[in-house]
Amino acid sequence: MTGGVGKRYQSKNGLPFLLVAMFTLQMLVPIVSASGMQSCSSLISSGTCDTYDHNDDMTPHRQDWVEGSYVFDLVSTSSIELELTWAVREFERDTLGLGSGTTVGDTLEQTDGLDPNDGAPADLIRHTFDQSTGGSGSPTVGQKLKTEVHDAIQDALESGFGTVTSISTEYVTSFTSGGQTTTCSTDSASDAQAEGASENNVFEPPLCFQATASVDLLASNFNLVGSENLDLERTYRGLLTMGAEVNTSFDLTTKPGHKADFVINPSSYSTVLGVDGNGTLLLRAGTPNFNASTWSMDHLQAGETATDLVQTVDLRMGHRNSPQSPTVDIEEGSKALDLNLVVDLSDENAATIDFAAGLYYLDAETLNNWGINMFDVAGSASIPVITSDGIRLAYHNDIVDLTQFTDQFPVGDIVEGLGSTMAGVGDISMSDMQWVSVSDGTGIFDEEGGLNYSHSSGCTEPVAAGQVLHYCLQGPNAMDGSKPIYLQTTSQPFSMRFIDIIMEQNDENSTINGFLENIQSSDLERLMNSGFSLEALIGGSFLNDIPLDGLPPAELTVEIVLPNWVTTVDGSSTIVLTKTLEETSSLNLSLTGIDPYDWEHEIVNEEGRVLCYANQSTCVQSDVEFDLSKVNFNEWSASLSVTMALDVELSIYRIGFVDGKRCFDATDIEACGQMEAFPSDLLRLVIDLSSRMEDPLGTEVDLPWCEDPKLKPYFDDCDPLVLEATRQGMKDLSKRFGEVVTDGIHGLGDKAEDEEDNPFGVMDLSAFEIRTSISGI
């Protein structure tokens, strides 16, 4: 009984326990049997999802969990190509029709434990892939996700780069970032661990997309703003080829819940020289090697109210130096300017100066001093040099006002410095500087060039039909200064005498300058045509005095067109002086008249009698009349008296010189005058010119017999013989010459009388008189 009673008692108490256990088991069955998210197994078509674990969610505050890889290829300044890959592990539920209030959404929150900040995990998206998002006819989850990704990519590109011109988005099976590749899948039958997947994680594997897009870029990204004539691509490339470094900026956008790696590859002709502190350079293999750039942005931990993470990135772009198109490299101190001045003295009363400047390049210092900037934002770019091709680029793309060059060019100082240094001329009025359109390399222009010069050879840049290459982007001479541009201006006529140039270089000799001041061009013409030639070696000091301050290294050429009454010995009408970077050349000058006197000719009188033969460089005719009227011998007094008269006339036609060269040395000048024969007409000219001087040419000659103290007592006239080159001075000289000779004869007679061995007791020459005169002057 006891036993029976006991068994009945146990049975009675075990039934409730069994019922509770069975009820509890029934409650547990759905969870255990699903082995994952119930939303996948009970509410959606057959399939299995992994178990949802909040610890696996790397975006706890956002419904999106996306990793992206963005690879940008800068095709040109106007276009960028993008290849983007997204790995989607979680996406906003509302967008996919899986939000709160939907059957699936409520199950996710009530049964699977998701909270409002949790999105649809990858497993769930795969299992709802073909489910409509908003009823019949609406896009499926898979289609909606693709559309949302497409739109998000387009928004990010247009906010940071420009206008999207084309974009395509497709699902892909892998995702690569940071050198690591992840397998992606849209297959709901193999994504859970229960279905053979490697891990129990509803976020793995991700769904992946690849998008390719083309974007039209904004010119402002490259700090270049011009008019409608701006060819941004060729301008940007040309500036880089000249060595410019340009800061290029883009806005990179990462949405909340996203992590992104951005890579920007430069265009085929450029390289990345540097990036901001958040970026990294990537070395790429090529010919030559070049740098790309990369940035990483992590917005996975974005809060509930966080907005897009926008980061402005800066790249410093430079030229990709290659043998085919090397970066412009100008040796420091090499010639930047050719300054050519032509001083035309063919009409000395209306002299002109033509000025031409051939510009090969301007260095950074000059550009800064002149306030010239090729970029919209000066601090966003730098350029070490602007070549002649670069100025043509600036002109044809309207990025620089060319008056910035002409207004700063010190042509006035150069020309006035030349005029003052050469001939003491003050203000010289110059016309406005003009840009030369095209030069063929003749005349004042040394080489082909000009503002509108067109590269017809030596440039390998492809040329479209009808295109004119005013600057060259490809080839060994790309963007260099081999074809200069030219600036030109001409003075208003002014007075500058060739004599003034001679005087200015001879300021140490006041006598010569005093003589030259009174010379007219016609006088100098007569002088040069008298057989006189001038050889001079003039140093370059006066070229060194021409101010070239504020200019890059320049060479200076001064060409002087001679007056029409003078020429060089070799028959040229010009003389040229040069100042190179290495030295200032000396001028080896030889001048003569255009119709110089030739002494090798006969001179005949009115009757046709030859006075001078052609082989006589010295020709002096004499006419002597000697009258011995009386000779008395006094035997008783032992004396002799003679009465006579001598009349001598000398006619001087020309005087030949054995060495007719006379030289003059002064600071920075050596000059020699040369004459083979001195014609009488030249003496008349010198006298005439000297007569015009305030202090005529003249000299004094001491009498040699008066220098000896033993002889001096015998002579009454010991004053120096004065020569003044005037008509009256020559007459006075001739008269005085006779008096001095007379006094000399008297003195010598007295001295002879005092000699012990004098055969004469008394020698009286007091009646002896010499009279001289000059005529024909």
Q: How many angstroms separate the CA atoms of 64 and 255, rounded? A: 9
pLDDT higher at 535 or 60: 60
* Choice among 151-155, 329-333, 451-455 with the minimum mean pLDDT: 151-155
Q: How many angstroms separate the CA atoms of 612 and 599, rounded? A: 10
Q: What distances in angstroms separate CA 137 from CA 129, 132, 145, one per listed residue?
A: 15, 7, 16
Burial class (CB in 10 A: 0-12, 13-18, 19+), 653: middle
pLDDT computed for residue 30 by the predictor: 36
Q: Which two tokens stand for residue 169?
A: 């988005």
Whether omega before 547 lies within 30 degrees of 0, making that bond cis, reads no
User: What number is the average pLDDT over the span 32-54?
Assistant: 71
Alpha-carbon 118 to chain mean position = 63
pLDDT higher at 662 or 140: 140
User: How many CB atoms are located within 10 Å of the residue 286 CB?
Assistant: 11
- Grouping H, G, I as helix, E, B as strand and the rest as coil, residue 623 is strand
Whether omega before 696 lies within 30 degrees of 0, making that bond cis, reads no
Chain segment 710-719, per-residue pLDDT in tens:
888 888 888 8
H/E run at residue 107:
helix 103-110
- pLDDT tier at 31, thresholds 50, 70, 90: very low
- Grouping H, G, I as helix, E, B as strand and the rest as coil, residue 363 is strand
Nearest to residue 315, comparing CAs of 263, 357, 358? 263
Nearest to residue 374, comparing CAs of 382, 324, 688, 366? 382
H/E run at residue 311:
strand 309-319
Q: Which two tokens stand for residue 305?
A: 């109210």
Burial class (CB in 10 A: 0-12, 13-18, 19+), 646: exposed
* Choice among 70-74, 354-358, 684-688 with the minimum mean pLDDT: 684-688
Strands (E), 432-523: 434-435, 439-440, 448-449, 485-490
Report the range out of 97-101, 214-218, 481-485, 746-750 with the highest average pLDDT. Answer: 481-485
Say if residue 26's pLDDT is above 60: no
Burial class (CB in 10 A: 0-12, 13-18, 19+), 578: middle
* Choice among 223-232, 253-262, 265-274, 767-776 with the minimum mean pLDDT: 223-232
Task: Determine contact, residues 371/389, Cβ cutoff 8 Å.
Answer: no
Q: How many angstroms separate the CA atoms of 104 and 101, rounded? A: 8
pLDDT computed for residue 608 by the predictor: 86
Instruction: Order the strands of the 587-593 sheet from edge to edge.
Output: 566-568, 587-593, 533-538, 669-674, 661-666
pLDDT computed for residue 541 by the predictor: 66
Nearest-10 Cα torsion for 730, 733, 734, 737: -160
Q: What distances in angstroms separate CA 65 from CA 110, 120, 298, 515, one per listed residue?
A: 22, 10, 11, 101
Q: How many angstroms separate the CA atoms of 681 and 464, rounded? A: 74
- For 266, which DSSP code? P
Nearest-10 Cα torsion for 160, 166, 171, 174: -60
- For 618, which DSSP code? S
Chain segment 131-182, per-residue pLDDT in tens:
888 878 889 999 999 998 888 888 878 877 778 889 999 999 999 988 899 9
pLDDT computed for residue 21 by the predictor: 38
Q: How many angstroms separate the CA atoms of 125 and 141, rounded? A: 7
Say if residue 213's pLDDT is above 50: yes
Q: What is the largest CA-CA distance in the chain?
A: 228
Residue type, 716: D
Q: Which two tokens stand for residue 556?
A: 């200076």
- Pairing mode of beta strands 270-275, 309-319: antiparallel
Task: Determine contact, residues 277/87, Cβ cutoff 8 Å.
Answer: no
Residue type, 46: S
pLDDT computed for residue 770 by the predictor: 84
pLDDT computed for residue 481 by the predictor: 92
User: What number is the average pLDDT over the span 222-233?
Assistant: 72
Say if residue 452's pLDDT is above 90: yes
Q: Which two tokens stand for residue 280?
A: 């990294």
pLDDT computed for residue 22 by the predictor: 35
pLDDT computed for residue 221 by the predictor: 63
Nearest to residue 283, comparing CAs of 274, 293, 296, 275? 293
Mean pLDDT of the chain: 82
Q: How many angstroms separate the CA atoms of 473 and 489, rounded? A: 31
User: What number is the average pLDDT over the span 647-659?
Assistant: 78
pLDDT higher at 653 or 359: 359
User: What number is the average pLDDT over the span 599-625?
Assistant: 84
* Choice among 321-325, 418-422, 533-537 with the minimum mean pLDDT: 418-422
Q: How many angstroms separate the CA atoms of 428 and 491, rounded? A: 7
- pLDDT tier at 506, thresholds 50, 70, 90: low
- Pairing mode of beta strands 361-363, 280-284: unpaired
Look-up of token digits 């074809």:
483
pLDDT computed for residue 45 by the predictor: 57
CA angle (749, 753, 756) in 5-degree steps: 140
Phi then psi for 122, rounded to 5 degrees? -55, -40
Say if residue 704's pLDDT is above 70: yes
Chain segment 254-283, per-residue pLDDT in tens:
999 999 999 999 999 999 999 999 999 999
Report the range out of 216-230, 417-431, 551-565 with the highest average pLDDT. Answer: 551-565
Say if residue 539's pLDDT is above 70: no
pLDDT computed for residue 625 by the predictor: 76
pLDDT computed for residue 582 by the predictor: 81
User: What number is the average pLDDT over the span 319-327?
Assistant: 91
Say if residue 509's pLDDT is above 50: yes
User: What number is the average pLDDT over the span 554-581?
Assistant: 85
Residue type, 264: I
Say if residue 59's pLDDT is above 90: yes
Q: How many angstroms separate the CA atoms of 340 and 333, rounded? A: 19
Q: Which two tokens stand for residue 601?
A: 């000719």
Q: How many angstroms separate the CA atoms of 274 and 296, rounded? A: 16
Chain segment 366-417, per-residue pLDDT in tens:
888 888 877 654 457 788 999 999 999 989 988 888 888 888 877 777 777 7
pLDDT computed for residue 211 by the predictor: 92
Say if residue 86's pLDDT is above 90: yes
* Choice among 22-31, 194-203, 291-300 with the minimum mean pLDDT: 22-31
User: How many CB atoms are located within 10 Å of the residue 274 CB?
Assistant: 15
Q: How many angstroms separate the CA atoms of 141 and 128, rounded? A: 6
- Grouping H, G, I as helix, E, B as strand and the rest as coil, residue 67 is strand
Using only the alpha carbons of the chain, give its radius of gyration.
Answer: 54
Report the interhelical angle of 388-396 vs 232-241 (nearest 10°).
160
DSSP 239-265: HHHTT-EEEEEEEEEE-TTEEEEEEEE
Q: What distances in angstroms separate CA 763 from CA 638, 640, 760, 766, one per listed residue?
A: 12, 10, 6, 9
**Helical H runs in 335-451?**
364-370, 388-396, 403-408, 411-423
443 φ/ψ sector (left φ>0, alpha ψ -120 to 50, else beta): left
Say if residue 96's pLDDT is above 70: yes
Q: What distances in angstroms separate CA 753 from CA 257, 637, 714, 763, 764, one per listed residue?
A: 140, 17, 11, 6, 9
Q: How many angstroms separate the CA atoms of 190 and 192, rounded? A: 6
- For 156, which DSSP code? H
H/E run at residue 9:
helix 2-34
User: What number is the average pLDDT over the span 347-374?
Assistant: 87
Say if residue 310's pLDDT is above 50: yes
Strand partners, 366: none
Q: How many angstroms separate the CA atoms of 162 and 219, rounded? A: 10
